[in-house]
Structure 1
Amino acid sequence: MAKVILSISGMSCSACSNSLEKYLNKQKGIKNATVNLVLAQALIEYDESLTIADLNKFVEEAGFKSLGIYNEKKETKKENNKQILLIFTLLVILVLYISMAHMARLPEIPFLGMKHHPINYTISLLVLTVPFLIYGFDIFKSGYKNLLHKSPNMDTLVSIGVLASFIYSLVGTFLVLFKSTSYMETIYYESVVTVIYFIKLGRYIDRKSKEKTKEALQELVTITPSFALLKIGNKEKEVTIDEVKKGDILICKPGMKIAVDGTITKGKSHFDESFITGESASLKKGPSQKVIAGSLNIDGTVEYKAEKIGKDTTISEIVRLVVEATNTKAPLAKIADKVSGVFVPVIIALAVLTFIIHLVLKNSLSSSLIYFVTVLVVACPCALGLATPVAIVISEGLAAKNGILIKSSEILENAHKVTTIIFDKTGTLTYGKLQVNKIYNYSSYSEKSLLELVASIENKSSHPIAKAFKEINSSLEVTNFKDISGYGVKATINDKDYYLGNGKLLEKLSIDNNHKEKEKSLQESGNSIIYCLENNKVIALIGLKDTPRDNAKRIIKELKYQNKRVLMLTGDNEITASVVAKDLGIDEVYASLLPQEKTTKIKELITSGEKVLMVGDGINDAPSLKTATIGVSLSSGTDIANNSADVILMNNNLVSIINLLNISKKTVINIKENLFWAFFYNICMIPVAAGLLSKYITMNPMLASIAMTLSSLTVMLNALRLNRIKIRKN
């Protein structure tokens, strides 16, 4: 199966996105398709027997236009209709003046007055209406195609209403021309004109608002430079990013940005990575350390080797994850989609019923038609369709901007509901920067040679403990490396078999442990321990000391204050784990656990009704993270593609968990507010439009189109308040 994001043109409301989504999911070869109205994108998972051309064709068949594969770099501003809108603003003012000057007791335009020049008046309005019909042709086209596919949308409602008014007015025009001017009351061209104009105005405002919602995402997209300095011999040459190849040596001077992901080969400097992590503090980096595309070089010149380019860079991966996340459906969005899916047919039926009732009540055909059109226009489900996706887009972007990558809308919506938060110990509650604290050497090797041997083996491992040896020389040739999950590792050096692991490794290998007292002593002082075995004989016992994160104790206290149950699950020994847990204020500790035992414990909690959020390493804790209701990992910021977590904290800061829960809670509140206003609007406006309150208040198609625009704008403005969420830095 392949996955692609297509940019879509022509969607105006939730009924549009729903109809396209339904149509795509019916096509053979498409496993799943979700359509995002706010981003105007379709995320499609499909069989590789299909081509992009096939997918584009499906989109066209559904009545919309595919702009091809989404490219964040090329996702620039779409066509600017500001000038066209301005022209039609002047035209609509002219139409309203001609048609209503006599009612407002304003001076009429010579030869176009309704009373004195009725034929000129009628023909002028007809002539001025034609450009609006052309201007609104895309509305009619979309409405017709969706009706054809049995998925009527907002455009269908508007098209029926506008064309009914136009045809009725056109018949009236012929009656005025060839029979009598008494038929002037059948002329409603101003309704046709104002409905089309305000729909177009609303969409212009809507598009501008949507651009605002995507600002955080666009900031990430534009953070990388367009050019790089390529080193060729002793010279340097400016090249475009597209010209950079893997393995190229690039130069970055103070004030410049890193062009692609790579590793420093020469020089040292401080780098600002706040665009990824949300952290303002700069990081000092030198040879062999990774740099990320978009990082700002502050004070030194460095040379670095290009390793990840184009769509493989960290920033591109982040943008892809955020875009995919916003294209997924949150549970509240699915409910709104179901409602709006039946909403349009119900409104058409309601409008027809309104028309019939007014005729039965002996209202004139023209006034009955006005009620019919007003109901169709006022009830368009735009606000309902925007309520969820616009909030999701803003929150996903805000989170990403502050170093929190949330992989799906469902996770964003449900994060604040978790009842239990589980932490791994090493590298999560602690910095994961273990240092050799004590060595008991039982071999003939010198301490230096022993550490070189251990470092050479650990260099092959991705476990956090391996980081304790990364600064030590590790030049020995290692073969037959094998990870023994939950116990340690095995390797061969110079035809000798070596094991590195915990106390349980000795039990697994049925080796007597004569070092338990020293092991216990190390553990009681907070050390993690490693046994080193050569040909099944213990040759060393090493104690490694780690430091708890500065804010870990405070974060755990805050989580408890929020009535969250906090646990620690660790593969480390019980004594060391208890020392760390007591220091941090964690009451429930489960230690000496194998990966599968961690998973079992999480399953038990979920079965008992707990909603579990697991915080750990995105690679080593993969089974636990996948089993939890929500998996959260702290990341180094360079390998997010292989991270199995639902949420990745790019800044390695535990305060991001507080921020995640807060963003989730505020987003859900915002979505519910949006849905309330969308439903409240329709509940209030439809009875008014249908004439049920005509003794007190009435509405015409022009006011209906204005009200519809304002309802969408209200939802947009309310969602934009999410940008004000207070983000904690520590």
Structure 2
Amino acid sequence: MKHQHHVEKPAKKEKMDHSKMAHSKTKHGSNPTMGHEGHNHAMMIADFKKRFYVVLALTFPIMLLSEMIQQFIGVEWQFTGSSYILFALSSIVFFYGGWPFLKGLVDEVKAKNPGMMFLIGFAITVAYVYSVAVVFGLQGMDFFWELSTLILIMLLGHWIEMKSIAGASKELELLVQLMPVDAHMVMPDMMHDVKTDTLKENDIILVKPGEKVAADGVVLEGESYLNESMLTGESKPVQKGKGDNVIAGAINGNGSIKVTVSHAAKDSYLSQVIKLVDDAQKSKSKTQLLADKAARWLTLIALVSGIGTFLYWYLTGQSLAFAMERMVTVIVICCPHALGLAVPLVVAKSTALSAKNGLLIKNRTAFENSRKITTIVFDKTGTLTVGKFEVSKVVSLQKELLENEILRLASALEQKSEHPIATGILQKVKELSLPIPATENFNAITGKGVEATVEGKKILVVSPGYLKENNIPIPDSFEVNDTETVVFVLINNALAGFIALSDEIRPESAEAIKTLKQNNIKSILLTGDNDKVAKSVSETLGMDSFMAQVLPHQKLEKIKELQGKGEFVAMTGDGVNDAPALAIADVGIAVGSGSDIAAETAGIILVNSNPKDVVNLILFGKATYRKMMQNLVWATGYNVIALPLAAGVLYNQGVLLSPAAGAVLMTVSTIVVAINASMLKVKS
């Protein structure tokens, strides 16, 4: 039985750094860094769009003035100075349209990290310099129309790509926009509208029907249904009344509620989620590092192949213009554009989508590793069961002692605990309107229960394991069913009675276990409860096995045992007394952490304690990894086929790619990767 509920929570291993999250908000109430980044991104999209249209307008006269195009359409529009007009128009295209790429080239050279911009900048510079030389006397044909169409398509590709990135991060922006800008603060004599980010702990705010909750807090007055779906993925509105917790960003139904603010906006659950999603999108997993490495190699291959192609054709007797054209085409087609986007787009999309569905990713590698899970260890209470214990039986073992007296004394010890068993006992005491006495010399017996002095008597509320260890015989009259959890009450070391509580199995649990089975993933129940309860729950749900009477510190050993058998283990726990087990598991999943999303050691946090979310997480992890692999295969496979064609391998068969065709192929490749990433969905 998990009864370590009186022990203080261990210190968090990692706290979210809220100091970095500035207090001020943009017009949507977002944190300013997000707003600033979003604004910059929008400006860059607008810049590429403007450059694209200017280059498009100039490309038409450039093509009409180009000798090769004139030959192709059978006209001759050459006139004195036409080559200089062509040079002037192309120079505008090169310096204005090509500016983002030229700037990128310089930046990458400075950073000693040549990449995509370096390749594009290098290719257009070679084409431009050669064409200018032709205008001023070098024998050959200029490249101006190819240069213009190449820059045009590159600008279009970048514009589309940036819009795709903006789309992938849109879910995060939507989360940011959930926080309302203003709040109705209740003053002693009046109501006063204030900025959300000025709210402090213990302020009282009014949330009117249809409005968003402005801060995390506790309902002080009123009743309403709240829609928390954008925060937790839970589609059904949740009923809230006095004493219930509410989350900032939730949408109020048709009742008015007054809320006591728990903490400032910067520490709200929503702010933490935004920070978490932002960090996860920026963090790199092994797949991302693999893609980065491949992109660096592709840059090197592009340069070597480009120069090699130039030398081959030039030294085998082709014209300088032909050799240059082949080099430019190879370098353009080899740009690791699609490869550079293959993983980041999927990362941005998956992380934000997860947050909207109540799956918060703290560690990208843990999320990607979820596809390898062979065994899931479920902590019983609150995950597979509702976690809401109700007193089903109170039995006195001493004739002169009433059942209510046993409950009253037990409640004195349980009043300081948040454990589900304690909550169940206190709920019963509240229903019976029994007064709760004070305690002295309170002490928690790790994993076994609690003890204290109440009204001069030594009272213990303990698990059956404690009785066994201390050789206290369990009376013959002791009888509970398989699903009940029992605590014994001792008065002055004499067994006084017991309280039986039952915890209902969640309706979603059986379906979740069935889906895991279909995916060849074993499910194991881990609980501090006795064998009878564990066996009953395990068999009811059709789980593979169970581990009963496991104390918190033994959970770690059980996970190690499974790993020793070659299993890839995921552990789901509440993130407090399960911290060591969550840390040692291959994938640690903290469940039911509610607004405490900085659960110590878990790589992934599930906002709801729903076992279906664990299944969704694994299936989504697999889907995300599949998308990454598809994108990587597409991005590299395209280069393997296109590069030889660009180099002129099939030149003798009459197949030759122009630089513009190469740019089109590269852009199409990028768009395919972006569309594929955008099709990622969380199945629920």
Relative distance call for 1:483 and 1:122 in structure 2 (3 A) is farther
RMSD over aligned CA atoms reads: 2.6
SS of 2:648 mapped into structure 1: coil
Q: How big is the shift at 1:617?
A: 1.8
Relative distance call for 1:302 and 1:107 in structure 2 (3 A) is farther
Deviates more, 1:491-500 or 1:192-201: 491-500
Match of 1:207 in 2: 162
Match of 1:363 in 2: 318
Match of 1:243 in 2: 198
Match of 1:701 in 2: 659
Structure 2 counterpart of 1:157, from 115, 119, 122 = 119
Are 2:683 and 1:716 aligned? no
SS of 1:547 mapped into structure 2: coil
Q: How big is the shift at 1:515?
A: 2.5
Relative distance call for 1:517 and 1:147 in structure 2 (3 A) is farther
CA distance in 1, matches of 2:403, 2:162: 67
Match of 1:179 in 2: none
Relative distance call for 1:554 and 1:265 in structure 2 (3 A) is same
Are 2:105 and 1:143 aligned? yes
Whether the 8 Å CA contact 1:140–1:159 is kept in 2: the answer is yes
Deviates more, 1:491-500 or 1:243-252: 491-500
Match of 2:570 in 1: 613
CA distance in 1, matches of 2:35, 2:466: 51
CA distance in 1, matches of 2:456, 2:102: 79
Structure 1 counterpart of 2:626, from 669, 675, 679 = 669
Are 2:236 and 1:281 aligned? yes
Match of 1:97 in 2: 64
Deviation string for 1:488-547 (max 9, x for gaps)?
234455665543221222345x3x42325444x22x342111122344443331111111
Residue type at the aligned position of 1:164: V
CA distance in 2, matches of 1:201, 1:535: 82
Gap runs ≥5 in structure 1:
1-44, 53-68, 177-182
Deviation string for 1:466-499 (max 9, x for gaps)?
2213434585444554443321234455665543
CA distance in 1, matches of 2:105, 2:50: 25
- The 5-angstrom pairing of residues 336-347 of structure 1 reads 336-347=291-302
SS of 1:308 mapped into structure 2: coil
Match of 2:50 in 1: 83
Deviation string for 1:154-193 (max 9, x for gaps)?
11112222212222222222217xxxxxx4x342223333
CA distance in 1, matches of 2:662, 2:82: 28
Match of 2:414 in 1: 458
Whether the 8 Å CA contact 2:51–2:97 is kept in 1: the answer is no
Residue type at the aligned position of 2:308: L
CA distance in 1, matches of 2:84, 2:676: 43
Whether the 8 Å CA contact 1:276–1:637 is kept in 2: the answer is no
Structure 2 counterpart of 1:555, from 512, 522, 534 = 512
Deviates more, 1:474-483 or 1:432-441: 474-483
Residue type at the aligned position of 1:719: A
Relative distance call for 1:159 and 1:365 in structure 2 (3 A) is same
CA distance in 1, matches of 2:442, 2:347: 45
Are 2:480 and 1:513 aligned? no
Deviates more, 1:537-546 or 1:383-392: 537-546
Residue type at the aligned position of 1:302: I
Residue type at the aligned position of 1:467: T
Are 2:448 and 1:484 aligned? no
Q: How big is the shift at 1:675?
A: 1.1
SS of 1:439 mapped into structure 2: strand
CA distance in 2, matches of 1:571, 1:704: 64
- The 5-angstrom pairing of residues 248-647 of structure 1 reads 248-442=203-397, 447-471=403-427, 472=429, 476-478=437-439, 481-493=442-454, 497-508=458-469, 510=470, 512-519=471-478, 521-522=479-480, 524-635=481-592, 637-642=594-599, 644-647=601-604
SS of 2:680 mapped into structure 1: helix
CA distance in 1, matches of 2:444, 2:654: 79
CA distance in 2, matches of 1:451, 1:149: 71
Whether the 8 Å CA contact 1:191–1:701 is kept in 2: the answer is yes
Deviation string for 1:425-474 (max 9, x for gaps)?
22121111101111223577754454344334323234332221343458
Relative distance call for 1:476 and 1:106 in structure 2 (3 A) is farther
Match of 2:610 in 1: 653
Deviation string for 1:372-425 (max 9, x for gaps)?
111111100011121122112212222221222222222222212211122122
Match of 1:168 in 2: 130
Structure 2 counterpart of 1:217, from 160, 163, 172 = 172
Relative distance call for 1:357 and 1:638 in structure 2 (3 A) is same
Relative distance call for 1:650 and 1:518 in structure 2 (3 A) is farther
Q: How big is the shift at 1:587?
A: 4.3
Match of 1:57 in 2: none
Relative distance call for 1:131 and 1:525 in structure 2 (3 A) is closer
Residue type at the aligned position of 2:108: N
